[in-house]
Amino acid sequence: MNRSLHAQIVALIWATADDVLRDLYVRGKYRDVILPFTVLRRLDSVLEPTIDNVIRTKTALDEAGIVNQDAPLRDAAGQDFYNTSGFTLRDLRSVSSAARLRLDFEAYLDGFSPNVQEILDNFEFRNQLPRLTKADALGTLIERFLDPDLDLSPSGLDNHAMGTVFEELVRRFNEENNEEAGEHWTPRDAVRLMTRLVFEPIADTIQSGSYLLYDGAMGTGGMLTVAEETLQQLTLVRGKRVKTHLFGQEINAETYAIAKADLILKGEGQAADNVIGGPEWSTLSNDAFASREFDFMLSNPPYGKSWKTDQERMGGAKNIRDPRFVVEHAGDPEFSLVTRSSDGQMMFLANLISKMKHHTELGSRIAEVHNGSSLFTGDAGQGESNIRRWIIENDWLEAIVALPLKMFYNTGIATYVWVLSNRKEERRQGKIQLIDATEWFTPLRKNLGDKGVELAAGDIDRILKTFAAFDKAADPDHAKIFENRDFGYSKIVVERPLRILGAEEGRVYRPAEIKFLKETGTRDESAPAIIRKVLPSNTEAAPLLGRFEALVDGKTRVVQYEPDSDLRDSEQVPLNEPAGEFADGIEAFFRREVQPYAPDAWIDEAKTKIGYEISFTRHFYKPTPMRTLAEIQADIRALEAETDDLIAELAGGAE
């Protein structure tokens, strides 16, 4: 497409918004009218040549009493959409009465096919008609969009060029609304990185055929379309022919309308039918593709955003039975991936993983953006930690890339791209690559909201080169390889016995007596431990696990002490803790770090839980070099000299 023509058309549409809507809407709301009007003008010009055929077909279908008319009307129009109103925008141009124009225009809108109706409804475009009619601006808009210089017809713009124009308008409107942009618009440099991380590592093994692409937090659909373009380019140069099918889901109505409209404008009507959205279509509580599996998946889910409403729709946190979020793992048939309601971003990743293909040669690949909390929030056994454990113990995590700060439009926080695959190449199996790309960026000449930097082509190339080098990357300051177990730990609960002043040594206390002692007694470190249970005579003592030998009724028995909740503590023991001379790493840790300071302590084995967390800060921490003594002395001398000058100046002024 001619770049100057592209810029000219965008400028003309932008000027139309400024000229016609300036006194009717605040600048940030122009898009409520201009985006749907741009869609209408393009669809109108595409349908003009076949409108008579559509009307004849509609009449014949009605006379024949055929109810399901969508497919034959699409055939009559030669498109994946149609209009049965009998009107075109050129017909409406000649209507002089504002009231009559509104009626005819509404009839024109009502004549569009269901897929276009869905776009209009989610844009809430009909809600703009009263204001436009009252200001007599509807006719002016039609006139401006029919200007020969603003040619949106197929003869002026092919489908790809039209899609590019529409995406440029969306981008400009998003930049006008910086506070909202990041919620639905992922910067293209981040998208390009993600798509390359998904496709390039396996580009040579992708064969000719059909592939399904999915985004569970679709926004305006940019990730899907860029992913499609990237896959086509990579396979074309390798002599492969691939067909792609796009699938997506988006809860925000306007954003969904933009995504669906963009696909229709690009001539991808089938793909437009495969994207689902609107307020009732939350990905977490209303999965539109429950039975689908996909080859490639990319997402930028909302982070730091409550999903409490979804949780309630699903029956509450403890009653969720969705197989995406309650799985079988580590011998637990109901292993919960349900996170806290305050932040559901990891749930979106679990949703993608649930749609992986496990019976194909390539399996599935995933790239998803998260903020830093996904790396470490959630205690062992909680949803966030369980998701990390589930991913890592299944060996699906290939790499995590730390992005530069100020990458996104509405936040300057740290962000990370997670790259997953269920077909890891042999050298990556059992390992995870961390890449610190926070210093690899190009500053923008002008900030776009909070976005102050971008990943230029060279920056993305550098990340991809580091990713591909894996353990051969000669840059330990920015790339490190770890064993999966390096990120896991056992959270152990350390108990100590309840000791109450005046308690009888060797006596076994009943539960009611223990309760009374807790409520009325005085704790004393020198008092005997309270015995709550005598174990069977064949039980072996194991003080590490709370089975102690004690004299009961003059006989040595194995007993359990009542734990003192005030002395209860927990410790995190790395899964890779060396066992040394002991049975395992937990015992080695306990005997080294706990027992010397609390000889009567034990581990409540039933409460031990496995957790996982990933700390970029710990692994890539660069300590600030200590200042030399000479530098400190020089600073002191400079301060002394400055102080002497000030004193002299004050003394001189006093004279």
Distance between CA atoms of residues 409 and 252, nearest Å: 18
Better-scored residue on pLDDT, 424 or 182: 424
Q: Which residue, 230, 233, 201, is CA-closest to 213?
A: 230
467-503: pLDDT as tens digits: 999 999 888 889 999 999 999 999 999 999 999 999 9
pLDDT cut 70: percent of the chain above it: 97
The answer to whether 138 and 102 have CB atoms below 8 angstroms apart is: yes
The answer to whether 592 and 598 have CB atoms below 8 angstroms apart is: no
Q: What's the pLDDT band for 95 if we cut at 50, 70, 90?
A: confident
According to the model, what pLDDT value does residue 182 have?
Answer: 43
Asked if residue 232 has pLDDT above 80, the reply is: yes
Distance between CA atoms of residues 104 and 85, nearest Å: 9
According to the model, what pLDDT value does residue 580 have?
Answer: 93
Average pLDDT on 57-67 reads 93
The answer to whether 344 and 308 have CB atoms below 8 angstroms apart is: no
348-363: pLDDT as tens digits: 999 999 999 999 999 9
Asked if residue 183 has pLDDT above 60, the reply is: no
587-598: pLDDT as tens digits: 999 999 999 999
Distance between CA atoms of residues 92 and 52, nearest Å: 16
According to the model, what pLDDT value does residue 654 have?
Answer: 55
Three-state SS for 609-642 is: EEEECCCHHHHHCCCCCCCCHHHHHHHHHHHHHH
pLDDT cut 90: percent of the chain above it: 74
Asked if residue 258 has pLDDT above 70, the reply is: yes
377-414: pLDDT as tens digits: 999 999 999 999 999 999 999 999 999 998 887 677 89
Asked if residue 180 has pLDDT above 70, the reply is: no
- Computed over every residue of the chain, the mean pLDDT equals 91
Average pLDDT on 36-49 reads 93
494-530: pLDDT as tens digits: 999 999 999 999 999 999 999 999 999 999 999 999 9
As given in the structure block, the two tokens for residue 226 are 């860029």
Distance between CA atoms of residues 460 and 455, nearest Å: 6
Q: Which residue, 210, 217, 169, is CA-closest to 191?
A: 217
Stretch among 138-147, 237-246, 262-271 having the lowest mean pLDDT: 262-271
Average pLDDT on 299-323 reads 92
As given in the structure block, the two tokens for residue 399 are 């790499």
Q: What share of the chain is helix, strand, coil (3-state, %, to 5)?
A: 45, 20, 35
As given in the structure block, the two tokens for residue 339 are 């996170």
Average pLDDT on 21-27 reads 88
The one-letter code for the residue type at 549 is E
Report how far apart, in Å, the C-alpha atoms of 620 and of each of 305, 369, 477 are. Answer: 28, 20, 7
Q: What's the pLDDT band for 436 if we cut at 50, 70, 90?
A: very high
Stretch among 14-23, 36-45, 392-401, 646-655 having the lowest mean pLDDT: 646-655
According to the model, what pLDDT value does residue 177 have?
Answer: 63
Residue 255: which residues within 8 A CB-CB, separation 6 or more?
184, 218, 219, 220, 277
Asked if residue 334 has pLDDT above 50, the reply is: yes
Q: Which residue, 525, 520, 519, 527, is CA-closest to 501?
A: 527
Tally of CA atoms within 13 A in the half-sphere of 565 that contains its CB: 4
> Alpha helices of 22-88 — where are they, by DSSP H?
31-47, 51-63, 70-77
According to the model, what pLDDT value does residue 635 have?
Answer: 87
According to the model, what pLDDT value does residue 1 have?
Answer: 47
